Structure formats: structure tokens, C-alpha cells
Amino acid sequence: MARAATVTIDLDAIVHNYRLAKSLAPDQQALAVIKADAYGHGAVTVARKLQSEVDAFAVACIEEAVELRVAGIRKPILLLEGFFTADELNYISEQNLWTAVHSDHQIDAIASSNVSKPIDVWIKIDTGMHRLGFAPDEFMAAYERLKALPQVGNLVMMSHFSSADDLTSPVTQAQLEVFDALQAQCPIPMSIANSAGTLMHNRARRNWQRPGIMLYGSSPFSDQPALDAQLKPAMTLTSEIIAIHDLQAGDAVGYSGTFVCDQPTRVGTVAMGYADGYPRQAKTGTPVIVNGQRTRIIGRVSMDMLTVDLTGLDAGLGSKVELWGKHLLANEVAPWADTISYTLFTGITRRVHRKVKG
């Protein structure tokens, strides 16, 4: 009836993973980070499922927040990247959005606005990532200015880790020290923990955790099987075998013939390619599951198809193929394409059929 390429989203898994994040800091609060269409899982669907239990949501920008408000989501939503132009401020105020503020020009814009209700502001501090935020020695001035403005409501201090997924890196500790030194001067609520911080850095857990990738059941760590066992993968990408060819030693497979059979090889063609969001960079050897059995991709991934090794497997036309999901972690696939699970999840395109469970 139809091309089988399908992404299945398990909403109960996301609820489970959010509860896990909350359980790690039960007296504190946690934003559910659903930017980038909930990391490709569908922001509106995920928000509807989570809204009765999350403390608040976070997205990157106002466009993403508007989508949620239009869909009837009422919880507060933090704009992690802040606002870009002053004309966003009225909507932010009216719709109970919270905004990151990372620079003086944004404070100027708020000061010249005439918003109807005060806006809650998360002051972004650069504690070492050097991407966005006030330098530590600029923080107090920014805080004092914001505090004095009638257009501003509650204040939170936030920062972001650059290396929390590397447990051997001294940078996380150094960032926390900078953050704590500012907190000593200015005791307002704090937020620094992303998923890696929430899961593995006790000292990073503050008033607000900001779990993202872990909500989708993917660990930010590549080498923590105990965490993998606690998280439930929410996205499963599947398709089917649409053709089978028995090749001889010396036969080449796919574009540029990058894979050459060294023995008689049964090759299965799968309806899944880079235009579906499967990474073209995935090398020969990338794991894949066919009819419940692990095998590997061989040859180049093309736009609409890829090829797998079926030699010695119990598989035929129409056999189910799992590219990643419940039985094969995206974290295991990602390094074969020199990437991370985040890009796999956010890369699924609209050609892929979507199913939602739960």
C-alpha cells in the first residue's frame, strides 16, 4: 500500500524519562526541553502528553513557542535563545513566555518596551562555553538593571555546560565554581543542568534542571550502560526490505561501488535513505536490525534506499528493518556516521510516515 519508512514515537517513554529526570532532583523543578520540534519527536504531540506534569517547557525561539500556544499549551515556556527583536516582547508578556537575556541590547529593548505584564527573565551567563551570555564580571550590572525595570518580573540565573557529557573533563567543575561565585553575590534561582548535568553531576542540580536529549531516551554519554537501561528510547525508525539480490565475490554494491563482496553475499535493499533523514555518512558496518537479527549496512546510503547484508539471515521481501529505536540505540548508530543521536532525531524528514503511541 505505501512505502514503509516510518518513525514511531512512544509518548509513554517520554513521560517515563521526564519522571526519571525529576526523580534525580525531586525537590527542584525541571523544564522539558522540546525545542527543534521536540528533537524531531513532534513538539505539539509531546507537549500535550507532558503538560499535566511538567513544571514548564523550553524551546529555542518564539516561533516554536507560538506553535505550542496556538495548539493550546498553557504551561510557561522558556525561550532558551532569548528574543531577537523588540517586537517579540508584547507576545512574550501576553502569552506568559519566559525569555533568556544574554546581552545589553536586549535589556535596552525591554527598558523601552511598554509590555502589559512583567516578563520573567533568565539571565544567561557565560561561565566558559563562550557562545552566549554575559561574562561573569558583567553579570551583576545586568542583574541590577533588570531588577530595577518595571517591565521585568522574576529573575533566574542560567548558564550552560560545554563538556558535561565528558566525565573526565575539569571544565564542568570550573563552570560550576564561576556560577557559585555569582550566586554568592546574588541569591536568585539557578539553572545549569542539561541532561548530562541532571543525570551525572550531583552538584549541577539546582532550582531548575533543563533535560532535553534524555527525555527522548538517549543518554548524553556513550559509555554508561546503567543509564541506557534506565532510559526508554522514544523514537523508532523502521522500514522494510523491498528487494534481495544474491551477489558473487567481486560484485560491487551501490554508488561508486564502495563495497565489493569478498564472498557470495545476499544483499537486501531497504526503503530508507538520506532524504528520509538517515545519514548518508553511515559507513559500511553500521548496525541495523532485520527481522529481529543484527546485521550491517553495506555500500553507500543513497537518497531513497540503503543496502544491508542479509547473508545467513532469516529474512525475505517485506522483512521489518529497524534503523534505530527500541532494539538498537541511536547512540550506537551515530558514531558510524560521525555524529550524535541529537542530529539523527532532528533530521527525520516529512516523507517518513509518523505513528504516535501512548
Q: How far is the CB of 300 from ligand PLP (least distance, A)?
A: 30
**CB nearer ligand PLP, residue 142 or residue 193:** 193
- DSSP single-letter state for residue 215: G
Distance set, CA 245 to CA 110, 157, 261, 317, 349 (Å): 64, 59, 12, 11, 28
Q: Is 232 a catalytic residue?
A: no
Backbone phi and psi for residue 205, each to the nearest 5 degrees, phi listed first: -75, 115
Query: Cell 529593548, residue?
Result: 109
**CB nearer ligand PLP, residue 220 or residue 254:** 220
CA dist., res. 17 & res. 19, Å (int): 5
Q: How many residues does the chain have?
A: 358
Q: By three-state DSSP, how is residue 59 classified?
A: strand
CA dist., res. 132 & res. 349, Å (int): 29
With CA atoms as reference, report the closest residue to 198 among 157, 243, 154, 231. Answer: 231
**CB nearer ligand PLP, residue 172 or residue 195:** 195
Q: How far is the CB of 231 from ligand PLP (least distance, A)?
A: 12
- Residue 97's DSSP bridge partners are 77
Q: Could you say which of 18, 22, 124, 255 is catalytic?
A: 255
Q: How far is the CB of 211 from ligand PLP (least distance, A)?
A: 5
Give the nearest residue (CB) to ligand PLP: 212
H-run or E-run covering 358: none
Q: Is 255 a catalytic residue?
A: yes
Q: Could you say which of 22, 35, 49, 124 is catalytic?
A: 35
- Residue numbers of the site for ligand PLP (CB under 6 A)? 33, 35, 80, 160, 194-195, 210-213, 220
The answer to whether 128 touches 178, Cβ cutoff 8 Å, is yes
With CA atoms as reference, report the closest residue to 205 among 219, 218, 190, 220. Answer: 190
Half-sphere exposure of 131 (CA within 13 A, CB side): 7
Q: How far is the CB of 215 from ligand PLP (least distance, A)?
A: 8
**CB nearer ligand PLP, residue 4 or residue 32:** 32
Q: How far is the CB of 196 from ligand PLP (least distance, A)?
A: 6
Distance set, CA 340 to CA 34, 209, 331, 333, 344 (Å): 17, 22, 7, 8, 7
Q: How far is the CB of 38 from ligand PLP (least distance, A)?
A: 11
**CB nearer ligand PLP, residue 35 or residue 49:** 35
CA dist., res. 345 & res. 14, Å (int): 14
**CB nearer ligand PLP, residue 62 or residue 213:** 213
Catalytic residue positions? 35, 255
